[in-house]
């Protein structure tokens, strides 16, 4: 028997002690790996703080007073923003354990009805991860909700603002590896003064290529390998710091006083204010070469955090219709959320190499990096202001105090960084504008496509009535018609049957949709319902995923889907076992939200337990012999047999292959966005068949052109 992993132990319901032991070991492992990812980024900051701070005219002010002032700024910035703001406040606003810009935005969307996703249903609010508080609204929260409800343009503005912070974070994934590695490698010039700059750039590029080439091994393995390097680096800088304090300046602790910040700005003036956007430092000591090697390795490790964060952000963007489809690979079967995206990895590598080769100067990259980081912090502060009022129901004065205090600090750094826009600060702005344009155009095009599908739904009743004149027949097998709609029959199906007037014996309309929660439990994944009378043998299956869920990778989706439909048929035959739906269809074809049955059976909770799934026709026959069965059970057994027979005849996947085209009356910007940008993205991103893992031998694509 294979050993039980911690995740399997949880799923199989082992004893509380075993669960606690597995959980403890998993937490310890994650804590160890965090040294190689999270603290790798944080601990490499000494590589690039002082050098750019004292670049330019400020290099003339390197007296103790100025050094104390810079150190005081560093200490209090780290204390106020990462510690007080993020650890004590922002982390309390997590979305079921998930953090970041999109997590905060997801909370706002759920509480203020700002959803950017189509197909949202009232039943989605019953998900256990939805977490809606039923506390009464304050007048501040009611006013904000009403404001966003009456002014949808401000909802779009908020989305753009969120995309700004998100795209700046992805831009950070380009700049951090470049500045970290280039800063560390540049330190060799201290010992080899005549080394040409081109050699430093070439060595940095080789290291960067190696770094991105390791990413396919996954965060789990990379972090495990990098953790000892960070531990060595932390020991090195601790020892060097203690030695420097004792040997050169025991009075450096005076810099902990915030008074030195004001003295620094007073003595340096405009140059001091501008220097706040600089974030670079270099190292020299008698133990140069060992520390240089460790520093270079630590710089590589520090880059891992932002690369992993970029993967996570792009994954969330895909789930929220703000990014073209990409291949998302889970790199750990034991730890959820560790992913690798090949397209993003190589894109980041190319951009990182371009920045390293193009800018070459760590000071210029530092200016760009500072602008990206401070912008993300300010976006988070503004979102937290809204979360405090709408989600936490805090008073306006409390939220305003939070915004004023932390926002003023961050705006101070942003203003200093903007001065350096011509000297490298333009890089994150350019990258963010490009990423934002892609995200917004994709979101806009997707929503327009969904709007077209809603407006062009077809009547199944009419199609079935036209069956004899069209020569329509039902052929053996199961047809899975993928659609973006949770109600009605998609136009792509009408297009299919009018050109090929035949469809399968059992027809299932499958809607894969995202909801604005991080994850959806397996017991809440499926919503099953009928389309039309029972004799039509047509069903609808809505499959719900959170923005952190990985769709259909860990189990046989086709087998699970058919099994859930069979279970629905069994439950439908015994209505006392399920909630009685309102306005249950009696001959009506149109499908509405109230017709959906939420199938939540423990029998199908864990997809790895294949013995609980219906695999073949013989399973149905053995499970319920016909002897002495009531008539209801016989009818139920007959429909189950019909579904399983159809399945053994074959399963076909029917997908729409749509082409968007802007109307001739549209503005130039809209025509360019749809006909050029959106079309280019659709043609060059991964198709839905790849994302859904559809076997090519069973794929039927139906082409359609729609005007938006």
What is the per-residue pLDDT for 334?
A: 66
Structure tokens at 324: 């073209």
Exposure letters 166-197 (e unless 16+ CB within 10 A, then b) = bbbbbbbbbbbbbbbbbbbbbbbeeeeeeeee
Mean pLDDT, the chain, as a whole number? 76
Task: Tell me what the mean pLDDT of segment 40-53 comes to.
Answer: 60
Q: Quickly count: other Cβ atoms within 10 Å of residue 507's Cβ.
A: 24
Residue 598: pLDDT above 60? Answer: no
pTM: 0.78
Q: What percent of the chain has pLDDT over 70?
A: 73
Task: Tell me what the mean pLDDT of segment 148-176 comes to.
Answer: 87
Query: Which of 367, 225, 368, 218 is closest to 307 using CA atoms?
Result: 218
In this predicted structure, which of 160-169, 206-215, 494-503 has the lowest mean pLDDT?
494-503
What is the per-residue pLDDT for 617?
A: 43
What is the per-residue pLDDT for 354?
A: 94
Q: Between residues 600 and 62, which one has the greater pLDDT? A: 62
Residue 400: pLDDT above 90? Answer: yes
What is the per-residue pLDDT for 35?
A: 65
What are the pLDDT digits (tens) for 211-226? 898 888 776 666 667 6
Say if strands 473-482 and 597-598 run parallel, antiparallel, or are unpaired.
unpaired
504 in helix, strand or coil?
strand
Query: Which of 34, 690, 645 is closest to 335 using CA atoms?
Result: 34
CA distance 345 to 368: 21
What are the pLDDT digits (tens) for 99-109? 888 889 988 98
365 in helix, strand or coil?
helix
Task: Tell me what the mean pLDDT of segment 309-319 comes to.
Answer: 87
Q: What is the DSSP string of 338-350?
A: -EE-HHHHHHHHH
pLDDT band at 56 (very low <50, low <70, confident <90, very high): low
What is the per-residue pLDDT for 229?
A: 75
What are the pLDDT digits (tens) for 401-424? 999 999 998 888 888 888 778 888
What is the per-residue pLDDT for 143?
A: 92
DSSP 8-state symbol, 686? P
CA distance 556 to 28: 32
Residue 615: pLDDT above 60? Answer: no
Bridge partners of residue 598, in order along the sequence: 527
Q: Find the DSSP H helices in 151-196.
A: 152-186
Structure tokens at 538: 């047509």
- Cβ atoms of 275 and 54 closer than 8 Å: yes
Say if strands 329-330 and 339-340 run parallel, antiparallel, or are unpaired.
antiparallel
What is the per-residue pLDDT for 563?
A: 87
CA distance 141 to 287: 58
Which segment, 128-132, 248-252, 431-435, 602-606, is predicted with the most confidence on average?
Answer: 431-435
CA distance 327 to 348: 15
What are the pLDDT digits (tens) for 531-588? 878 888 889 999 999 888 877 555 578 888 888 888 888 877 655 444 444 333 333 3
- Cβ atoms of 352 and 269 closer than 8 Å: no
pLDDT band at 378 (very low <50, low <70, confident <90, very high): very high
- Cβ atoms of 444 and 708 closer than 8 Å: no
Cα 112 to Cα 141, 390, 400, distances in angstroms: 9, 7, 19
What is the per-residue pLDDT for 439?
A: 92
What is the per-residue pLDDT for 406?
A: 93
What is the per-residue pLDDT for 125?
A: 84
- Residue in this structure with the two tokens 């057994």, named with its chain if needed: 637
| 687 contacts: CB under 8 Å, gap ≥ 6 | 325
Task: Tell me what the mean pLDDT of segment 472-500 comes to.
Answer: 86
Give the helix/strand (H/E) hosting 530.
Answer: strand 526-530
Exposure letters 308-337 (e unless 16+ CB within 10 A, then b) = bbbbbbbbbbbbbbbbbbbebebbeeebeb
pLDDT band at 275 (very low <50, low <70, confident <90, very high): low
pLDDT band at 478 (very low <50, low <70, confident <90, very high): very high
What is the per-residue pLDDT for 621?
A: 44
What is the per-residue pLDDT for 288?
A: 61
CA distance 668 to 665: 9
- Residue in this structure with the two tokens 């470049």, named with its chain if needed: 178
Structure tokens at 191: 């010992």
CA distance 321 to 118: 9
Task: Tell me what the mean pLDDT of segment 175-204 comes to.
Answer: 83
- Residue in this structure with the two tokens 């305003």, named with its chain if needed: 400
């Amino acid at each position: 028997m294979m050993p039980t992993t911690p995740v399997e132990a949880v799923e199989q319901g082992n004893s509380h002690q075993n669960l606690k032991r597995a959980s403890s070991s998993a937490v310890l492992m994650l804590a160890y790996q965090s040294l190689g990812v999270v603290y790798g980024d944080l601990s490499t900051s000494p590589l690039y703080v002082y050098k750019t701070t004292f670049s330019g005219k400020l290099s003339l002010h390197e007296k103790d007073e100025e050094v104390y002032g810079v150190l005081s700024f560093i200490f209090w910035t780290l204390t106020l923003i990462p510690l007080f703001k993020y650890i004590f406040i922002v982390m309390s606003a997590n979305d079921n354990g998930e953090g970041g810009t999109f997590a905060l935005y997801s909370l706002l969307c759920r509480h203020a009805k700002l959803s950017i996703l189509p197909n949202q249903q009232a039943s989605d609010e019953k998900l256990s991860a939805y977490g809606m508080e039923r506390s009464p609204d304050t007048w501040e929260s009611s006013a904000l909700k009403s404001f966003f409800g009456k002014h949808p343009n401000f909802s779009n503005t908020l989305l753009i603002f969120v995309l700004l912070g998100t795209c700046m974070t992805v831009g950070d994934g380009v700049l951090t590896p470049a500045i970290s590695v280039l800063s560390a490698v540049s330190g060799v010039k201290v010992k080899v003064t005549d080394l040409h700059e081109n050699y430093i750039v070439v060595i940095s590029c080789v290291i960067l290529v190696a770094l991105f080439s390791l990413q396919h091994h996954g965060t789990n393995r990379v972090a495990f390998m990098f953790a000892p390097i960070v531990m060595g680096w932390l020991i090195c800088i601790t020892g060097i710091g203690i030695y420097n304090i004792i040997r050169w300046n025991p009075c450096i602790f005076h810099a902990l006083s915030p008074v030195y910040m004001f003295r620094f700005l007073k003595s340096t003036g405009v140059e001091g204010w501008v220097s706040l956007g600089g974030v670079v430092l270099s190292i020299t000591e008698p133990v140069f070469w060992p520390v240089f090697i460790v520093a270079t390795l630590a710089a590589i490790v520090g880059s891992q955090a932002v690369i992993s964060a970029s993967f996570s952000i792009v994954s969330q963007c895909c789930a929220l219709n703000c990014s073209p489809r990409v291949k998302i690979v889970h790199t750990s079967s034991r730890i959820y959320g560790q992913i690798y995206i090949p397209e993003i990895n190589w894109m980041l590598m190319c951009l990182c190499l371009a920045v390293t080769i193009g800018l070459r100067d760590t000071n210029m990259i530092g200016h760009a990096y500072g602008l990206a980081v401070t912008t993300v912090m300010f976006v988070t502060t503004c979102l937290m202001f809204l979360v405090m009022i709408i989600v936490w129901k805090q008073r306006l004065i409390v939220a305003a105090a939070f915004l004023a205090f932390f926002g003023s600090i961050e705006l101070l750094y942003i203003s200093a960084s903007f001065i350096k826009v011509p000297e490298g600060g333009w890089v994150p702005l350019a990258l963010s504008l490009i990423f934002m344009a892609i995200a917004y155009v994709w979101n806009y095009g997707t929503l327009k496509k969904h709007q077209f599908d809603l407006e062009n739904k077809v009547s199944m009743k009419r199609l079935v009535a036209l069956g004899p004149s069209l020569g329509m027949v039902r052929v053996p097998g199961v047809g899975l018609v993928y659609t973006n709609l949770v109600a009605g029959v998609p136009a792509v199906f009408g297009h299919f049957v009018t050109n090929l007037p035949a469809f399968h014996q059992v027809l299932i309309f499958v809607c894969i949709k995202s909801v604005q929660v991080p994850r959806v439990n397996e017991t809440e994944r499926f919503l099953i319902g009928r389309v039309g009378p029972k004799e039509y043998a047509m069903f609808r299956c809505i499959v719900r995923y959170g923005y952190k869920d990985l769709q259909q990778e860990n189990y046989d989706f086709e087998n699970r889907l058919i099994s859930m439909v069979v279970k629905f048929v069994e439950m439908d035959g015994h209505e006392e076992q399920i909630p009685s739906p309102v306005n249950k269809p009696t001959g009506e074809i149109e499908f509405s939200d109230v017709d959906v049955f939420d199938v939540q059976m423990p029998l199908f909770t864990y997809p790895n337990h294949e013995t609980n799934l219906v695999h073949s026709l013989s399973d149905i026959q053995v499970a319920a012999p016909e002897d002495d069965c009531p008539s209801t059970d016989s009818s139920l057994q007959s429909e189950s047999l019909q579904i399983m027979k159809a399945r053994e005849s074959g399963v076909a996947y029917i997908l729409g292959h749509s082409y968007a085209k802007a109307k001739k009356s549209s503005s130039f910007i809209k025509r360019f966005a749809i006909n050029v940008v959106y079309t280019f993205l659709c043609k060059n991103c991964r198709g839905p068949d790849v994302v859904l893992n559809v076997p090519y031998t069973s794929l039927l694509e139906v082409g359609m052109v729609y005007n938006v």
